[in-house]
């Protein structure tokens, strides 16, 4: 039996999980932890790349190559299928096609592409601007036509709900599905009833619910979301936010107290770190090599 591609692994996970929880991993080590505890899909946020790797806000300031670097690092460290945020695709049809090919080569399993203008904003911020439905359909067609792996999964994200309301967002989603999208990412949805209406409007196609903290969408439970039509639930930056808060606590304690005694209990231990990295397996191989060298 042929080994599944990354896209194939994503589709398998989506078939088996009800819903498929997709957790944000802004670096390879977090991806390893997510995989070890049992998550079946992981995510690389465009905002996460901008914030973590470049110290920039999520305002479309990073490039395809910036994101690809983190895709390669993460996909090299784990087998768990990776969904990648490709913003607007970084240009016109040829740019989008190149993006899909490069993401596939880098090890991504899936991407989502959105209908904001190139100077995009975080999906939960005000004053977003979206392109015409036809331009978004053209983006999706360019992405679908560029696939080199039939199982590579393409999700069309629409920000129209917040801008133009449910009916407009559903119309855009339907057009994207007709253009070949495998699923729909409904951004900044407010209620479970809205999710149900969205799911009904796209006739049960795969629907992603973005359950990000401190945004426009309440922190709905997976059971609630499944009951209202979602097949994927995304947590784009949950671990990132928790790690940031923990790091700030340590930095402040060191200045305040002159040592880390008050916060050491909040830290991952050295042995826990080594366990996730399989450090001792590497060390044993190194010891064996040294022993072999001494015996020659």
pLDDT value, residue 208: 97
pLDDT surpassing 90 at residue 216: no
pLDDT band at 282 (very low <50, low <70, confident <90, very high): confident
pLDDT surpassing 90 at residue 247: yes
Mean confidence (pLDDT) of the chain: 93
pLDDT surpassing 60 at residue 15: yes
Which pTM does this prediction carry?
Answer: 0.93
Answer yes or no: is 270 a known binding residue: yes
pLDDT band at 203 (very low <50, low <70, confident <90, very high): very high
Answer yes or no: is 203 a known binding residue: no
Answer yes or no: is 87 a known binding residue: yes
Closest CA to 173 of 188, 189, 191, 155: 155
| Residues 154, 182 contacting (CB under 8 angstroms) | yes
pLDDT in tens, 125-160: 555 778 899 999 999 999 999 999 999 999 999 988
Give the whole-angstrom CA distance, residue 20 versus residue 27: 21
Active-site residue flag, 87: yes
pLDDT band at 22 (very low <50, low <70, confident <90, very high): very high
Is 6-237 in CATH node 3.20.20.60? yes
pLDDT surpassing 70 at residue 202: yes
Active-site residue flag, 287: no
Answer yes or no: is 176 a known binding residue: no
pLDDT surpassing 80 at residue 254: yes
| Residues 90, 49 contacting (CB under 8 angstroms) | no
Answer yes or no: is 202 a known binding residue: no
Could you tell me the residue ranges of all domains in the chain? 6-237, 244-291
Active-site residue flag, 210: yes
pLDDT band at 283 (very low <50, low <70, confident <90, very high): confident
pLDDT value, residue 125: 56
Active-site residue flag, 157: yes
Active site residue: 139, 157, 172, 206, which one? 157
Active-site residue flag, 58: yes
Active-site residue flag, 279: no
Least confident window among 22-36, 121-135, 267-281: 121-135
Least confident window among 12-21, 54-63, 110-119: 110-119
Give the whole-angstrom CA distance, residue 214 versus residue 222: 18
Alpha carbon separation from 270 to 36, 122, 175, 273, 277 (Å, rounded): 17, 36, 51, 5, 11
Answer yes or no: is 212 a known binding residue: yes
Mean per-residue pLDDT for 105-127? 78
pLDDT band at 119 (very low <50, low <70, confident <90, very high): low
Mean per-residue pLDDT for 207-212? 97
Mean per-residue pLDDT for 230-245? 97
Structure tokens at 152: 């590579």
Closest CA to 233 of 192, 193, 185: 185
Structure tokens at 213: 């903290």
Active site residue: 35, 70, 102, 114, which one? 114
pLDDT value, residue 284: 83
């Amino acid at each position: 039996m042929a080994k599944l591609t990354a896209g194939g692994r994503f589709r398998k996970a989506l078939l088996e999980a009800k819903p498929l929880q997709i957790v944000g991993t802004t670096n390879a080590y977090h991806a390893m932890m997510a995989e070890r505890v049992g998550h079946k899909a992981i995510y690389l946020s465009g905002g996460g790349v901008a914030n973590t790797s470049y110290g920039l806000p999520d305002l479309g300031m990073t490039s395809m190559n910036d994101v690809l670097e983190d895709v390669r690092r993460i996909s090299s460290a784990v087998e768990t299928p990776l969904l990648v945020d490709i913003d607007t695709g970084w240009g016109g049809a040829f740019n989008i096609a190149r993006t899909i090919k490069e993401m596939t080569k880098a090890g991504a399993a899936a991407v989502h592409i959105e209908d904001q203008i190139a100077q995009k904003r975080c999906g939960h911020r005000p004053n977003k601007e979206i392109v015409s439905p036809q331009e978004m359909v053209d983006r999706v067609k360019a992405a679908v036509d560029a696939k080199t792996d039939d199982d590579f999964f393409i999700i069309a994200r629409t920000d129209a709900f917040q801008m133009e309301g449910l009916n407009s967002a559903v119309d855009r989603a339907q057009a994207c599905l007709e253009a070949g999208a495998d699923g729909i990412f409904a951004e900044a949805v407010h209620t479970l009833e809205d999710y149900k209406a969205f799911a009904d409007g796209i006739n049960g196609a795969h629907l992603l619910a973005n359950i990000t903290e401190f945004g426009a969408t309440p922190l709905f439970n997976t059971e609630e979301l499944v009951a209202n039509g979602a097949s994927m639930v995304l947590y784009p930056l949950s671990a990132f936010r928790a790690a940031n808060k923990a790091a700030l606590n340590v930095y402040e304690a060191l200045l305040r107290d002159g040592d880390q005694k008050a916060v050491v209990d909040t830290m991952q231990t050295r042995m826990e770190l080594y366990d996730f990295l399989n450090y001792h397996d590497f060390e044993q191989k190194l010891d064996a090599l040294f022993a072999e060298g001494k015996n020659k």
